[in-house]
Chains A and B, each alone.
Chain A
């Protein structure tokens, strides 16, 4: 089984930040996230996701009503970890697709091939209002566009062949321009000429994940490498290369045995893994790391902790061939 961990403020429980073990300032410095991801990595967890949305979190009394930009937080974590995959949530409805793909490729470069993203949309009126450029669009429209953004991102990741940088002192050429490609992409709502500004990253294509939270997202999940499926959904027959079930967990309250059984059931049902959403990072992640993962390992449900290489390698996904190789320009 693949195991992922969700990073969201002090944890998924709205009151998690109030525990005496939590320094609430550490949510804002990123220290809380760094500590949780390092613990998860040491235990052998495969990837961490970072929650985000374009608009601010709900302004509700008692809740953590602030949130760091997930990409910045994941980048902050990257040099302090070595093996765990890093997938910040990035919304694509208002952000320029060219910037999105460049940022994700950059995360892959700085993490040595552990980068990815949870592609998401912004269909709320709040998100439209903070940008002030487009009317709020329906979930169907925003997800249709998101699929184009995923598509153009992959084209741009291929727009540099792996060996485009030649540094040929004899001719004075730094790059072989025949190995750089215009993507000339057109969708109903945007176009991108290309090539990317970022050379092809270690994984070729960083991992694209989609969290299924609406029927429209389920459709778009077909394009993803990794699908985060809610526990309430039935496991679809082959949706994407990898489907993991996203589970809210509080092992420091509920114990680990129940959870081991639940995960074993999902494994038997054909899920490729679980995405654990802990109630409290400070209280639950240590239990996950010290008790749950070792129990799963004993039962042969998860692999060795120190598997290295790229995130793709860790997830058992191959490195994608470049669509432009041999195409000339």
Chain B
């Protein structure tokens, strides 16, 4: 039997890959949009539905960035509502471990697992910067070096709370009047960041523990995923980089006593499907142009150059100045540690092809991962999975909420034909879908 593919749906949001100006683009906020994409994913028997998080609106040169989608509802609340209108689909929330307390996280995530019948997942992310911290009591005090310490400790405590009941402590004996055994859920923990004790007021949820997802490419991030995560959400969508990453992360598992199957590697990818390969290539080029307007091209270049480029014409040549290291023209997103080789590469490519600044940005960034006819895309996805470049993918559509309709209607049946993807859900929990032990 072929290795089975895992698929997840990412709700399109705050980035310039979401094409909000398309006539087909719907609301980014209304519940109907979330419901549509979740129902599409469930029709396609996807493993889970994924929501990102934002805790501060991004800024460019001290002003709120106004070119991309801005604003979104709070993840766990949206997912609890989606639990009511879906039956099998996993529900994954990105929630920051810096600006939430482990006890609150354990309670909210366990509730989602209970009310969804075992479909909850937590994508553990960390934030340390003072910019985001300005919205929180905790402020920005956390050292960058400390972020994984706190994240790891948060996760350890959250798990401890989920494990604080033994199975036999929930009695539910109506005749005898025994709901639970006294003392069930008692916990205490003392670490570098937390010193807590009390009782956890929720019995083990249907999955025992909600699924843990982790994103991150750094050495610390890979180690954190290898020791603690059920799914790692990576950026390595290309075949070569995917295989290298896959090998690296899976090789870290044995030292934590874990098997290769216990951690699923699912890169975030974009897909463009059309009737033929040629049409798909044309469509992909059109989408990239929609994703990178002139003003957006300037902002993306400013991010790389680290300086104000507003005097430049995006349809003209690349800026002549050298990049500035460590400047922060933008707030709330990751910058470049070493921009020089990238700028050199952009210049070389622009000269070779006669590209304008905007054309260079379009061609050097925002490349879609899988482009082609349904058959081409299905084969590429299957090849990546069978050859261990990934265990599956998190699909990031460029349109809300219809962006996965075509994939589910045209590509999923071909994956099923190849015996590499489920026809129907075999189990009811997200752990069942991912083939993970409870």
Q: Which residues in A have some Cβ–Cβ distance to B below 8 Å?
A: 15, 17-20, 22, 24-25, 28-30, 34, 54-57, 59, 61-69, 71-73, 75-80, 94-99, 102-103, 105-107, 109-112, 126, 129-133, 160, 165, 167, 169, 171-177, 180, 189-199
Contacts and interface: CB of A to CB of B under 8 A. Distances in A.
Contacts of A75: 76-78, 80-81
Interface stretch (B98-106, B246-254, B266-274): B98-106
Interface string B73-101: 11011101111110000000000000111
A78 to B, nearest CB: 5
B194 interface: yes
A129 B196 contact: yes
B76 A66 contact: no
Interface stretch (B176-184, B341-349, B405-413, B430-438): B176-184
A175 B174 CA distance: 56
The 8 closest A-B pairs by CB, nearest first: A56-B201, A75-B80, A132-B196, A72-B111, A193-B134, A69-B111, A130-B198, A106-B73
Given A72-B76, A79-B81, A64 B179 contact: yes
B193 to A, nearest CB: 9
B196 A76 contact: no
B114 A28 contact: yes
Interface residues of B, number: 75
B67 A172 contact: yes
Given A98-B135, A180-B57, A24 B199 contact: no
B405 to A, nearest CB: 21
22 contacts: A15-B177, A22-B174, A59-B182, A59-B183, A61-B177, A65-B184, A66-B203, A72-B108, A73-B80, A75-B81, A79-B85, A96-B137, A98-B55, A110-B78, A126-B198, A165-B70, A173-B66, A173-B295, A174-B20, A174-B66, A174-B67, A175-B70
A103 to B, nearest CB: 5
B336 interface: no
Interface stretch (B2-10, B28-36, B215-223, B385-393): B28-36
A48 B20 CA distance: 36
B112 A189 contact: no
B49 interface: no
Contacts of A71: 76-77, 80, 108
Contacts of B174: 17-20, 22, 24
B371 to A, nearest CB: 25
A203 to B, nearest CB: 14
Given A15-B177, A193-B134, A68 B100 contact: no
A111 B64 CA distance: 28
Nearest to A75: B80
A160 B29 CA distance: 13
A68 B85 CA distance: 19
